[in-house]
Amino acid sequence: MPIRTVLAVLTATTALVLTGLWVGYNVNMLPLGASSNASTYDDLFKVLFSIGTVLFLGIVILLVYSLFRFRRRSGDLSDGLAIEGNLPLEIVWTAIPAVVVLFVGLYSYDIYERMGGMATLNDHMAMDHGAMQQVSVKEGDTAGRVWGGIGVAGMDAAPAGPVLPVEVTAMQFAFIFHYPGSDITSGELHVPTGQQVELRMEARDVIHAFWVPQFRLKQDVIPGQPTVLSFTATRAGTYPIICAELCGPYHGGMRSNVVVHEPDAYDNWLQQNTPNRTTT
Amino acid sequence: MTLANPSDFDGNLQPQGWLRYFSFSLDHKVIGLQYLVCGFIFYLIGGALAGVIRTELISPISDFVSRETYNEVLTLHGTVMIFLWIVPVVNGAFGNYLIPFYVGARDMAFPRLNAVAFWLIPPAGILLISSYFIAGAAAQSGWTAYPPLSLTTPAAGQVVWILSVLLLGGSSIFGGINFIATILKLRRPGLKLMMLPMYCWAMLGTSVLVVLSTPVLAGTLILLSFDIIAHTGFFNPTMGGNVVVYQHLFWFYSHPAVYIMVLPAFGLVSEILPIHARKPLFGYTTMVYSIMAIVFLGLIVWAHHMFTSGTPPWMRLFFTIATSFIAVPTGIKFFNWLATLWGGKIALNSAMLFSCAFIVNFVFGGITGVALAQVPFDIHVHDTYFVVGHFHYIVYGGTVFVIFGSLYHWYPKFTGRLLNEDLGRLHFLLTFVGFNLCFAPQHWLGLNGMPRRVAEYDPAFTTLNQVSSVGALLMAISTLPLLINVVVTAINGKEAGDNPWNALTSEWLTSSPPPVENWHGEAPLVTEPYGYGQHQETKA
């Protein structure tokens, strides 16, 4: 291969990789992040976005270049070169996706573990508060088994300290949040920043899903099969809770809010809404 | 019926002329075209349903159709497009037309079963559409029909939906058995498996998936219908049923269904590219093994549709790994296609435009697919418009683009006339621009908070939804030049001759349209279907 071709290919590849990295790290495709999980997620997104941009642009440029350079000139009825394959070349482009996929897989496993995804789901049953069991463990359930979700602990960004449990009941077409510690029932979720929250969720009728885009978290809420979702909010504000599983005619309207307070403001909210202090 | 005697096919029982397309014809070419035209009619119906969806989503409030109707429309749109357009056309239409040619046979292995398989489709389709009118309400639980929603929405429509999908699944299984038997048992003497055109391998792999996975869907839907009709409790949580088991069983079919839609498209592209690039298909052997790898991996990835469901951590990990690895054999195929083009003499006609656009679209959809396979990534975007964008890049940008490309490529064989290239390029331009305008913005919408299957959404998303709807409008308009082209050229199009592309595969080595017995004499033995550049003398 002539040295000029090698140089041209190297320059083009470098330019492509730099473009991909620039796009991945500078084009913002995501909403505001408001949980400790969000920054971890956004790291993964940037890596995937960069790799994806490099691969996509590379293949499209190669394709368009081939279509232009190897176009049939008018009057030329001859065939192209009779090349039926090239084993070393084929090994190279088996290796490219294999290496990319291996890297992406290992990296996303790491991210998943940092999100707390590998925490044992049924752990909290052992250290459960007594108040919890009466609601989350219904009669007939397989001994309060949790079927899916992201459990407590394991999150590297999660602060040590007590976990705030909230029981979530989903029904057509609303979410109900119950705070077993203070017996508050609310249509909106209120949480403090900096404390790990564990949602224990079950649906009453059909399957729903609890999704907060700013937390980058979602978990189906299933009738008969309790699920959990743990997170730590990091930024005060009001964010939408969206039902993400088709649940009937008003599925699009099944929304609520999560209000993230600074710890002091959360304590205020808690005191003002605890049943023995107000009439509701 | 023995296949040795071509005169059997000219029996008086078979109607001639245009009437045969409305008959119980046993001719694989007639059946192939029946599949194609029938599928296209359902494409128009499914497209009209998509039009309703995109019209509703022009504004953030539910104001075009009622919320119930909206859910009926999205359920019918998905079901029609998958079971009545893509699967029948990419398998049934091109498979029936081409496979007997490629194996050097005069018909499929079981011609009557073949006709039965086709004739199950129109009644099943009519049944499905009519449920909107006669049963009071069509199914409203999406094409996935997850219980308990499918148990609590109007029962009649859901039962009709199940019946219709069972019929279509049956048709698909009949077709799959027929393709396997034809490819393995009906090859002309001297034709070895590794001499077969790539589409045969794709159809063999697809048919294995059909035969292994479709019965699981059928069984699942029968259990679901018991829950609805007989009030059993398989999937009813109030009776101790398990709703997540339904999801496992459903996706055990419905993930392979993606490959049932996409592998044949890979096969068709592998036929089109070498002919118009005048080069052999690059890496034939690795292409064959890639198909086998995709078939195997395709069977063990289903739970990536359930990452946010009742899915324990170990299962999330296993299915992330298995799903990611599908990118390897798929990547090999795309690099091989690029290598096929490299150094060729490419005629960039309509068939090639659609095929090359398929590469662009599918690579995009494949990259978002690898991202979606990663549990932490998927947890945020699952069940959002990101997924809607992703799978339309796969099934529309992938398979439907290939169907259009194949139409331009094989229409001269079907009719003896060439489709008009100017109308073809217009069709391509409208489709490509409209498609990307419609589905690219949906990725951003999903990432930023728009769930799928909603009739109302956050007003912040209005502009991009309107862009998407404009794209859909362009896609609707794009069918006009195609329809005009097909009708006008059928009447007075340019004569194609037998082999307008100077192709080497055996469907081109006979007259256009071919005789009932496919070749007037003995079937040709094509040992090198991609031998371009070696046989310059074949240009007659």
Flag whether pLDDT at A130 surpasses 70: no
Helices (H), B15-154: 28-56, 67-79, 87, 94-103, 111-119, 121-130, 149-152
Please tell me whether the peptide bond between B148 and the residue prior to it is cis, using omega within 30 degrees of 0.
yes
Q: What is the pLDDT of residue B325?
A: 92
Q: Is there a single domain that holds both residue A141 and residue A110? A: no
**Residue at token pair 């088991």:** B245
Give the pLDDT of residue B13. 56
Q: How far apart are CA B459 and CA B446, in angstroms?
A: 14
In this structure, the answer to whether residues A66 and A144 fall within a common structural domain is no
Query: How close, in Å, is residue B295 to chain A by CA atoms?
Result: 17
Mean predicted confidence (pLDDT) in A195-210? 94
Question: Within 13 A of B326's CA, how many CA atoms are on the CB side?
Answer: 28
Judging contacts by C-beta atoms under 8 Å, the chain A residues touching residue B308 are 148, 209, 218-220, 244
User: Residue A80's pLDDT is what?
Assistant: 85
* Contact yes or no for B361/B404 (Cβ under 8 A): no
Contact B235, B224 (CB under 8 A): yes
Between these two residues, A152 and B37, which has the higher pLDDT value? Answer: B37
Report CA B48 to chain centroid distance, whole Å.
18
At residue A153, the pLDDT reads 63
Contact A79 B532 (CB under 8 A): yes
Distance from CA of B166 to the nearest CA of A (A): 23
Residue A76 confidence (pLDDT) = 83
Q: Which of B327, B331, B533 is the closest to A82 by Cβ?
A: B533
User: Residue B22 — very low, low, confident or very high, per pLDDT cuts 50/70/90?
Assistant: confident
The pLDDT value recorded for residue A120 is: 76
The string of DSSP codes covering A50-104 is HHHHHHHHHHHHHHHHHHHHTBPPTT-----------HHHHHHHHHHHHHHHHHH
Residue range B18-46: average pLDDT?
92
Are residues A157 and A262 located together in one domain of the fold?
A: yes
What band does B312 get if pLDDT is binned at 50, 70 and 90? Answer: confident
Neighbours of A237 (CB within 10 A): 14
How far CA A268 is from CA of A5, A178, A191, A273, B396, in Å, comes to 69, 17, 12, 9, 53
Contacts of A244 in chain B (CB under 8 A): 308, 382-384, 451-452
- pLDDT tier at B328, thresholds 50, 70, 90: very high
Nearest beta carbon to residue B342 from set A66, A97, A213:
A66
């959404």: which residue's tokens? B457
The band of B23, judged by pLDDT with boundaries at 50, 70 and 90, is confident
Q: What percent of chain A has pLDDT over 90?
A: 62
The answer to whether position A153 is within a domain reads: yes
- pLDDT at residue A138 above 70? no
What is the C-alpha radius of gyration for chain B, rounded to an integer number of angstroms? 23
Residue A279 inside a domain? The answer is no
pLDDT at A129: 42
Helix (H) or strand (E) holding B207: helix B198-229
Indicate whether A216 and A266 sit together in one domain.
yes
Whether residues A66 and A192 fall in one domain? no
Provide the pLDDT for residue A81.
84
Residue type present at position B255: H
At residue B538, the pLDDT reads 45
Partners of B495 in the β-ladder: B417
Q: Among candidates B181, B141, B185, which has minimal Cα distance to B160?
A: B141
Å between B221 CA and nearest CA of chain A: 18
Mean pLDDT over the full length of chain B: 93
Render pLDDT for B152-169 as a digit per residue (tens, 0 to 9): 998 999 999 999 999 999
Residue A116 pLDDT = 82
pLDDT of residue A18: 95
Tens digits of per-residue pLDDT, B246-300? Answer: 999 999 999 999 999 999 999 999 999 999 999 999 999 999 999 999 999 999 9
Assigned token pair, B518:
């496919």
Contact residues on chain A for B377, CB-CB shorter than 8 A: 41, 44-45, 48, 108
Tokens of A6: 């090698």
pLDDT in tens, B392-428: 999 999 999 999 999 999 999 999 999 999 999 999 9
Instruction: Identify the burial level of B278 via C-beta atoms within 10 angstroms of its C-beta, where 0-12 means exposed, 13-18 middle and 19 or more buried.
Output: buried
- Percentage of chain A beyond pLDDT 70 is 88
User: Please, what is the end-to-end C-alpha distance for chain A in angstroms?
Assistant: 81
Say if A244 falls within a structural domain.
yes
Say if residue A26 is in the same domain as residue A95. yes
φ, ψ for residue A209 (rounded to 5)?
-140, 140
pTM of the complete model beyond 0.80? yes
Res. A131 pLDDT band, cuts 50 70 90 = very low
- Which residue type is seen at B80? V
User: Distance (Å, rounded) from C-alpha A261 to C-alpha A236?
Assistant: 5
Residue A276 pLDDT exceeds 80: no
pLDDT band at A280 (very low <50, low <70, confident <90, very high): very low
Order of strands, sheet of A208-212, starting from the edge strand that comes earlier in the sequence: A189-192, A255-261, A237-243, A208-212, A217-221
Nearest by CB: B449 against A98, A112, A242: A242
The C-alpha atoms of residue B424 and residue B324 are separated, in whole angstroms, by 36
Give the residue on A whose Cα is nearest the Cα of B444: A29
Of the ranges A136-145, B238-247, B400-409, which is most confident? Answer: B400-409
Contact of B448 with A213, CB cutoff 8 Å: yes
Inter-chain residue contact B451 with A249, CB threshold 8 Å: no
Q: Chain B: residue nearest A68 by CA?
A: B346
In angstroms, what CA-CA distances link B363 with A76, B301, B359, B369?
31, 19, 6, 9
With CB atoms and an 8 Å threshold, state whether A29 touches B149: no
Mean pLDDT of chain A: 86
- Cα dihedral sign for A200, A206, A212, A218? positive
Euclidean distance between CA atoms A243 and B215, whole angstroms: 32
Cβ–Cβ gap A148/B309 under 8 Å: yes
pLDDT tops 60 at residue B115: yes
Query: Would you call B507 helix, strand, or coil by DSSP?
Result: helix
Q: Do A224 and B242 touch (CB under 8 A)?
A: yes
A16, part of any domain:
yes
Q: Which of B71, B91, B42, B41 is nearest to B256 (CA)?
A: B91
Contact A86 B283 (CB under 8 A): yes
- At residue A243, the pLDDT reads 96
User: What CATH number is given to the structural domain containing A162?
Assistant: 2.60.40.420
Q: b/e per residue, B376-412, with b = 16+ CB within 10 A?
A: bbbbbbbbbbbbbbbbbbbbbbbbbbbbbbbbbbbbb
Angle between helix axes B385-394 and B350-373 (nearest 10 degrees) is 140
Q: Is residue A120 part of a domain?
A: no
- The two most distant CA atoms of chain A are separated, in Å, by 91
Chain B residue with minimum CA distance to A227: B310
The more confidently predicted of residues B424 and A276 is: B424
Contact across the interface for B356 and A67, Cβ inside 8 Å: yes
Q: Is A43 part of a structural domain of the chain?
A: yes
- Look up the ipTM and state it: 0.92
Same domain, A165 and A240: yes
Tell me the sheet residues that pair with A255.
A242
Q: How far is CA B219 from CA A120, A240, B246, B303, in A?
A: 33, 39, 11, 18
DSSP H/E element including A229: strand A227-232
Q: Average the pLDDT over A172-196 and give the result.
A: 93
- The number of domains in chain A is 2
pLDDT of residue A159: 62
Task: Report helix, strand and coil shares of chain B as percent, to nearest 5.
Answer: 70, 0, 30
Separation in Å, CA of B41 to nearest CA in chain A: 28
- The answer, yes or no, to whether the previous bond of A173 is cis (omega within 30 of 0) is yes
- Is the pLDDT assigned to residue A132 strictly greater than 80? no
- A203 and A104 in a single domain? The answer is no
Domain boundaries, chain B: 27-538
- Residue A121 placed within a domain: no
Which residue type does B382 have? H
**A159 & A38 share domain:** no
Residue B68 is predicted with a pLDDT of 93
Contact assessment for residue B448 and residue A30, using Cβ atoms and an 8 Å cutoff: yes
Cβ contacts of B277 within 8 Å, gap of 6 or more: A70, A80, B340, B341, B344, B345, B346, B347, B352
Return d(Cα B198, Cα B52) in angstroms, integer: 38
Q: Do A166 and A106 belong together in one domain? A: no
Q: How far apart are CA A102 and CA A116, in angstroms?
A: 21
pLDDT of residue B69: 93
Mean pLDDT over A193-198 rounds to 93
H-assigned helices in B230-349? 243-277, 284-298, 313-325, 327-341
> Which chain A residues contact residue B282 at CB under 8 A?
83-86
A67 near B346, Cβ under 8 Å? yes
Q: Is residue A82 part of a domain?
A: no
- Segments forming the whole domain that contains residue A219: 137-273
Distance CA B506, CA B266 (A): 19
A90 to B286: CB separation less than 8 angstroms, yes or no: yes
Closest CB to B243: pick one of A52, A211, A222: A222
Please give the CATH number for the structural domain made up of B27-538. 1.20.210.10
Q: How far apart are the C-alpha atoms of B391 and B274, rounded to whole Å?
A: 27
B442-485 pLDDT per residue, tens = 999 999 999 999 999 999 999 999 999 999 999 999 999 999 99
User: In three state form, how does the secondary structure of B392-460 look?
Assistant: HHHHHHHHHHHHHHHHHHHHHHHHCEECCHHHHHHHHHHHHHHHHHHHHHHHHHHHHCCECCCCCCCHH
pLDDT band at residue B137 using 50, 70 and 90 as cut-offs: confident
- Tell me the three state secondary structure of residue A185: strand
What pLDDT sits at residue B472? 97
Whether pLDDT at B540 is above 70: no
Q: How far is the C-alpha of B513 from the C-alpha of B413, rounded, in Å?
A: 5
Q: Is a pLDDT exceeding 60 seen at residue B133?
A: yes
Lowest-confidence region among A82-86, A141-145, B215-219: A141-145
Q: How far is CA B42 from the centre of its chain?
A: 13
Clarify whether residues A103 and A216 are in a common domain.
no
Lowest mean pLDDT among A92-96, A148-152, A252-256: A148-152
A142 and A207 in a single domain? The answer is yes
